[in-house]
Amino acid sequence: MMLYRVAELPDWQRAQQTGFFASADLQAEGFIHTSERHQLLDTANRYYPGRTDIVLLELDEATLGAAGVPVKREWAESRGQFFAHVFGAIPLGAVRRTLPFAPAPDGTFALPAELT
Protein backbone atom coordinates (compact mmCIF):
# COMPACT_ATOMS: atom_id res chain seq x y z
CA MET A 1 0.00 0.00 0.00
CA MET A 2 1.16 3.52 -0.76
CA LEU A 3 0.95 6.34 1.75
CA TYR A 4 1.27 10.03 1.00
CA ARG A 5 2.95 12.85 2.84
CA VAL A 6 2.59 16.51 1.94
CA ALA A 7 6.14 17.64 2.65
CA GLU A 8 7.47 21.12 3.16
CA LEU A 9 10.42 21.81 0.85
CA PRO A 10 12.99 22.47 3.63
CA ASP A 11 12.17 19.08 5.20
CA TRP A 12 12.48 17.35 1.82
CA GLN A 13 15.76 19.11 1.04
CA ARG A 14 17.14 18.09 4.45
CA ALA A 15 16.08 14.49 3.76
CA GLN A 16 18.12 14.44 0.58
CA GLN A 17 21.18 15.39 2.62
CA THR A 18 20.57 13.04 5.57
CA GLY A 19 18.96 10.06 3.83
CA PHE A 20 15.86 10.26 6.04
CA PHE A 21 12.69 12.34 5.88
CA ALA A 22 11.57 13.82 9.19
CA SER A 23 9.25 16.69 9.98
CA ALA A 24 8.23 18.75 12.97
CA ASP A 25 5.37 16.38 13.80
CA LEU A 26 7.82 13.53 14.43
CA GLN A 27 9.56 15.53 17.14
CA ALA A 28 6.38 17.06 18.57
CA GLU A 29 4.07 14.03 18.46
CA GLY A 30 6.36 11.04 18.02
CA PHE A 31 5.14 10.18 14.53
CA ILE A 32 4.83 11.52 10.99
CA HIS A 33 1.31 12.09 9.70
CA THR A 34 0.48 10.45 6.36
CA SER A 35 -2.65 9.95 4.30
CA GLU A 36 -3.91 7.19 2.10
CA ARG A 37 -4.74 8.21 -1.45
CA HIS A 38 -8.46 8.68 -0.73
CA GLN A 39 -7.62 11.01 2.22
CA LEU A 40 -4.99 13.10 0.47
CA LEU A 41 -7.07 15.92 -0.97
CA ASP A 42 -8.93 16.56 2.27
CA THR A 43 -5.59 16.70 4.11
CA ALA A 44 -4.00 19.05 1.57
CA ASN A 45 -6.99 21.38 1.37
CA ARG A 46 -7.45 21.44 5.15
CA TYR A 47 -3.84 22.02 6.22
CA TYR A 48 -1.99 23.42 3.18
CA PRO A 49 -4.43 25.66 1.23
CA GLY A 50 -2.62 27.84 -1.27
CA ARG A 51 0.83 26.59 -0.25
CA THR A 52 3.34 26.45 -3.10
CA ASP A 53 6.34 25.44 -0.98
CA ILE A 54 5.42 21.75 -0.75
CA VAL A 55 5.96 18.48 -2.58
CA LEU A 56 4.06 15.20 -2.41
CA LEU A 57 5.92 12.09 -1.25
CA GLU A 58 4.60 8.66 -2.19
CA LEU A 59 5.73 6.17 0.45
CA ASP A 60 5.81 2.38 0.21
CA GLU A 61 4.39 1.02 3.45
CA ALA A 62 5.97 -2.42 2.94
CA THR A 63 9.41 -0.83 2.56
CA LEU A 64 8.89 1.12 5.77
CA GLY A 65 8.04 -2.12 7.58
CA ALA A 66 11.06 -3.91 6.12
CA ALA A 67 13.25 -1.03 7.35
CA GLY A 68 11.84 -1.46 10.86
CA VAL A 69 9.82 1.76 10.81
CA PRO A 70 6.41 1.03 12.38
CA VAL A 71 3.23 2.28 10.73
CA LYS A 72 0.06 2.28 12.81
CA ARG A 73 -3.43 3.35 11.84
CA GLU A 74 -4.88 5.51 14.56
CA TRP A 75 -8.26 7.14 14.92
CA ALA A 76 -8.34 10.89 14.26
CA GLU A 77 -11.42 12.11 16.11
CA SER A 78 -11.41 15.49 14.34
CA ARG A 79 -11.56 13.80 10.95
CA GLY A 80 -13.68 10.79 11.86
CA GLN A 81 -11.38 8.19 10.33
CA PHE A 82 -8.17 6.24 10.78
CA PHE A 83 -4.89 7.67 9.51
CA ALA A 84 -1.53 5.99 9.06
CA HIS A 85 1.13 7.33 11.42
CA VAL A 86 4.79 6.57 10.74
CA PHE A 87 6.71 6.12 14.00
CA GLY A 88 10.20 7.11 12.92
CA ALA A 89 12.19 8.93 10.29
CA ILE A 90 11.41 7.72 6.77
CA PRO A 91 14.38 6.27 4.88
CA LEU A 92 14.66 7.64 1.34
CA GLY A 93 14.42 4.08 0.02
CA ALA A 94 10.75 4.07 1.10
CA VAL A 95 9.99 7.16 -1.00
CA ARG A 96 8.79 5.71 -4.31
CA ARG A 97 8.06 9.02 -6.03
CA THR A 98 8.12 12.73 -5.40
CA LEU A 99 5.36 14.53 -7.20
CA PRO A 100 4.88 18.25 -7.76
CA PHE A 101 1.87 19.41 -5.76
CA ALA A 102 0.74 22.93 -6.56
CA PRO A 103 -2.64 24.43 -5.79
CA ALA A 104 -5.03 25.80 -8.38
CA PRO A 105 -5.39 29.61 -8.57
CA ASP A 106 -8.15 29.43 -5.93
CA GLY A 107 -5.74 27.71 -3.50
CA THR A 108 -7.29 24.24 -3.64
CA PHE A 109 -5.57 21.02 -4.61
CA ALA A 110 -6.41 18.28 -7.08
CA LEU A 111 -4.73 14.91 -7.31
CA PRO A 112 -1.64 14.95 -9.51
CA ALA A 113 -2.28 13.32 -12.90
CA GLU A 114 -0.01 10.42 -11.88
CA LEU A 115 -2.46 9.47 -9.11
CA THR A 116 -5.75 9.75 -11.04
Report the pLDDT value the prediction gives residue 102, as an integer from 0 to 100. 95
- Kindly state whether residue 93 falls inside one of the protein's structural domains: yes
- Kindly state whether residue 89 falls inside one of the protein's structural domains: yes
- Kindly state whether residue 107 falls inside one of the protein's structural domains: no
How many structural domains compose the chain?
Answer: 1
Average pLDDT over residues 64-85: 96
- Kindly state whether residue 41 falls inside one of the protein's structural domains: yes
Domain range for residue 55?
2-102
- Kindly state whether residue 81 falls inside one of the protein's structural domains: yes
- Kindly state whether residue 113 falls inside one of the protein's structural domains: no
Report the pLDDT value the prediction gives residue 13, as an integer from 0 to 100. 97
- Kindly state whether residue 14 falls inside one of the protein's structural domains: yes
pLDDT digits over 12-70, tens only? 999 999 999 999 999 999 999 999 999 999 999 999 999 999 999 999 999 999 999 99
For residue 48, the domain's CATH number is: 3.20.170.20
pLDDT at position 3 over 90: yes
Handedness of CA 79, 100, 5, 83 (dihedral sign): positive
